[in-house]
Structure 1
């Protein structure tokens, strides 16, 4: 066992929306002697947003943060449930979990989604203009689970299982997707695309809190193998490598003053990857990349992504803060695997501390890129 004192979140002098609510309604909870490693912290956000294909969607996001062991030796676990729906038949029921067992002996991650998901696609490569797009409609079921054992402090290795089931992929024209993309796998009109198989996972993580990372670093390697042996429509393999670094510019200050850096490389390793499983901007594991770029805008056999963000508290008590961010990405061109076009985006946002014990912020970001801009509302940081 090792002791990681950085894993303890210091809330002395901090203030959040829960504190403000207690003051407004004169709530004075009775003090109890609670076991610190049993605490459970909830954050809840109701909001609305646009949906690909048009229309407004209502969604809620609930995040639970909790400890499965002593805080000095166990990272903060989290479970997020963010359902959404509108009145045009679009809905989503995603549940994500990141569980750290006692003394960080195991890290168990899960991602389960049931979606009805209309979405524009621009084909393969990065050279098409914004108006050259096609609206897809499909239902989607995802089931990803992985279990990683601690090999030594901060380093974990394990296996997982990944299942993607795209149901009734269709457009408003016969065989329009195959004609539009010039791609054969997973583009047949009104058909399903099913992929299933194991993964090998390596993880290095010195962050104490994935909801709101403080100084530390993160690296994650996932090799995925899908095969008819496991029920897949065809055989394909992929590799995803994610790296993040968080640097405090004023370590002794109580006010957050952090630079966060993120890069990932996502690539297919074999031909025949279904179209909707190809690397695509905004389809990283937590759908957080490419703020200011429409999700799915760029797709290819491989994708390179870089982002930097400056995070700063405005108030000494941590209640209000802001971020500034910029990113650039590129996907390979069809048939060449060359990174020919680079696509920048930038923006900024406001942070309001919802729960100081779990470090959960309400984030409102404005992002923009060439020909597109959007406002994003989330619980927790983008990465």
Structure 2
């Protein structure tokens, strides 16, 4: 399961439960917003409950609330949003996070925050998007499919991110600095067995050994230089505008990092209207490139699909399904209303593609692509703020699939 903002649920028996709790969430949100219909609340809350289950986590219960507010004149100040998460499982796992995108009065500054503490686990499949047998595993080429067996890694993760950017004059361009801290500790590589002969190594173990990096705990701590152009008409559910974001992060040992390294993030989003009369009928495009620019980055901190800030990329797959020193991800989504004259209910069709490199194995970026596709439903629970609750079903390679429950649009 990927518990970050999107909830990846197993297919059998969960769809009905998800729909029941989706309706429950809608009812609660309606109650919050309709108590005082004549006076708009300063902070709107969508208290979305969550329930799921899988063999790794057992029964999963919790809440994923979404918040929206405006910190200034609504005519000149963009809406701020935040999404929380609190989940517990019957196998003693805990997932908590609070992520926000806030705008100060007149959009003078924008502030991004990402705080997490997780007692987590997830499968890993090695680096790159080429599906093949790694040489140290001694798997015959005719048994290539066996290489898809997941290697489970259990770990604890603390994240503290903060970025402050200042608006340039009256433009929609922002620039500024950030601080980024990640701590992965108590790493338990469950597929690793060093007691047998020969030892049964894992992707994580081999990668860390080759770079003389620790295998049970590591940290990243560093500063970032950031620039954003954001002309979206609504952060939570855009109909028009563009979003371009560039961020270079430098991690240094003297700041507490396990190793010196740098990464570059480049992102582009755009929205194309398909109907003058129905602004909700649009094509939405999202693409990002994430690359290691220098130094040695520990395995779990490498660029990976699903590890974007709001964990929205890679629908159809678990978080971290495709990982490498370089990752490029693209997604196209058609969003459309399902009612003739109203905007409450909507639908989406989407397709995405991922490519990742493995420099040590000569797997180059753009040599291999993996696809995902699917469809989903939308319910606009707060029409004035265009806040959606989303339920998507995604399909991937070799039978991988999942249901994804979210608040706000995917991008």
- Shorter chain as denominator, the TM-score bin is 0.7 to 0.9
Cα deviation for residue 355 of structure 1 reads 1.2
Aligned to 1:223: 248
Matched, 1:377 2:394: no
Instruction: Describe the superposition over 1:322-376 as per-residue Cα deviations: whole angstroms up to 9, x where unpaired.
Output: 0000011100134236122100110000111111122111111000111201011
For each residue in 1:122-167, what CA deviation from the matched residue of structure 2 results, as whole angstroms up to 9, or x when unmatched?
1112223563321000000000000000013110000000000001
2:364 to 338, 341, 356: 338
Q: Compute the displacement of 1:56 (Å).
A: 3.2
Unaligned 5+ residue runs, structure 1? 1-15
Tell me which of 95, 99, 114 is aligned to 1:111: 114
Q: Which residue, 142, 156, 164 being the options, matches 1:147? A: 164
Bigger shift: residues 38-47 or 133-142: 38-47
Deviates more, 1:157-166 or 1:316-325: 316-325
- Which residue among 171, 176, 179 is the counterpart of 2:189? 171
Alpha-carbon distance between aligned partners in 1 of 2:333 and 2:275, rounded to the nearest angstrom: 16
Matched residue, 1:96:
99
Q: Which of 270, 274, 277 is residue 298 of structure 2 equivalent to?
A: 274
Change (3 A) 1:177 1:226: farther
1:295 aligns with 2:295: no
Post-superposition shift, 1:91?
Answer: 1.0
SS in 2 for 1:103: helix
Bigger shift: residues 41-50 or 96-105: 41-50
Question: Any idea what the Cα deviations from partners look like across 1:266-316, whole Å, max 9, x if unmatched?
Answer: 000113111111111111121100101222111110001110000011122
In 1, distance between residues paired with 2:376 and 2:184?
34
Is the Cα contact below 8 Å between 1:53 and 1:120 reproduced in 2? no
Cα–Cα, structure 1 residues 187 and 86, in superposed 2: closer, same or farther, change >3 Å? farther
- How far apart, in 1, do the equivalents of 2:47 and 2:213 lie? 38
Structure 2 gaps, min length 5 = 1-24, 132-144
Quote the residue 1:76 is aligned against. Answer: 79
User: Structure 1 residues 167, 314: CA separation in 2 closer, same or farther (over 3 Å shift)?
Assistant: same
Q: Structure 1 residue 53: deviation in Å?
A: 2.7
Shift in alpha-carbon separation, 1:118–1:51, aligned structure 2, 3 A: farther
Tell me whether 1:135 sits opposite 2:152 in the alignment.
Answer: yes
Cα distance change, pair 148–28 in 1 and its aligned pair in 2 (3 A)? closer
Give the alignment of 1:158-237 within 5 angstroms. Answer: 158-172=176-190, 173-174=192-193, 179-181=202-204, 182-184=206-208, 185=211, 188-189=214-215, 191-237=216-262
Question: C-alpha deviations, 1:100-127, integer Å up to 9, x for none?
Answer: 0011000011000000111100111222
Which moved further from structure 2: 172-181 or 132-141? 172-181
Distance 1:186 1:138 in 2: 20
Using structure 2 for the length normalisation, give the TM-score.
0.82
Structure-to-structure mapping, 1:257-272, within 5 angstroms: 257-272=281-296
Instruction: Give the match's secondary structure for 2:254.
Output: helix
Q: Residues 69-98 of structure 1: CA distance to partner in whole angstroms, max 9, x if unpaired?
A: 111111000121111111101111100111
Q: For 1:21 and 1:259, locate their aligned partners in 2 and report how far apart those are by CA, in whole Å.
A: 28
Q: In structure 2, how many angstroms separate the alpha carbons of the residues matched to 1:77 and 1:381?
A: 14
Q: Is the 8 A contact 2:227 2:247 kept in 1?
A: yes
- Is contact 1:361-1:379 (8 Å) kept? yes
Q: Contact (CA 8 Å) 1:145, 1:160: kept in 2 or not?
A: yes
1:52–1:118: 8 Å Cα contact kept in structure 2? no
Residue aligning to 1:367: 394
1:308 and 2:332 matched: yes
Change (3 A) 1:213 1:267: same
